[in-house]
Amino acid sequence: MIISTLIFGSIAASLALLVNPRIASFIGGVIWARFLGLITPMLVRVTGRENINKKQSYVIISNHQSHYDVLVLYGWLGIDFKWVMKQELRKIPGLGIGCEKIGHIFIDRSNRERSLASINAAKEKIVDGTSVIFFPEGTRGETGELGEFKKGAFKLALEMKLPILPITIKGTSQILPPRTFNLKPGIVSMVIHPAIDVQDHNEDTLPDLMMTAHQIIASAL
């Protein structure tokens, strides 16, 4: 896993400079994720692909139980997107440089102003079918239950008038539990729910929007 991450991260960084970020993201991200899924081994079952319009940009939100959630989304979602990820991941050899060159969004969670500046600078990338992914819980869950959502993803959706695409991932915590290296083979399911239209929402109805999204994701757990 370490060796392949170094290799694919370097390939992604090079392709982003020489070709374009979308091709770099596919080769350095999708193929990397599927390769790691193969050697684990991890079988991924996807339902709800019909809920995706590949020409539409989304604010994608997903529950978060394991590092393997990243592999599932990258390898099997099937659309171009940018991650919103914590600044600390930039330091990981291969992964950090690859993500930076592809155009993923690093945020400094210890500094609100820097986080907002990073998000604002990334808005121009979320167009023409390129989406953005958040883990609205903010961190991996320890119990398997869905945690409370933070507002960032929903505020961005309102500002950009982009539909929210809720996703539920099940089974990754059994493959690689949080805070362990106890890697095991397993079966994962990813449920892609119908998108939530935000056109009729505003700051006043933000709590209702967040509750609706939370209920949708929780319904498939």
Q: What is the CATH number of the domain that holds 24?
A: 3.40.1130.10
CA distance 206 to 189: 29
pTM of the predicted model as reported, rounded to 2 decimal places: 0.89
CA distances in angstroms from 193 to 51, 121, 182, 189, 196, listed in the order given: 7, 28, 30, 13, 9
CA 162-132-125 angle, 5° bins: 85
- For residue range 46-82, what is the model confidence (pLDDT) as tens digits? 999 999 999 999 999 999 999 899 999 999 999 999 8
Euclidean distance between the first and the last CA atom of the chain, given in angstroms as a whole number: 28
| Cis peptide bond N-terminal to 41, omega within 30 | yes
The residue range of the domain holding 107 is 2-219
Domain count, the chain: 1
Q: For residue 85, what pLDDT band results from cuts at 50, 70 and 90?
A: confident
- Would you state the pLDDT for residue 179? 79
CA distance 91 to 201: 38
- For residue range 130-153, what is the model confidence (pLDDT) as tens digits? 999 999 998 776 667 899 999 989
Higher-pLDDT residue of 57, 119: 57
CA distance 108 to 118: 9
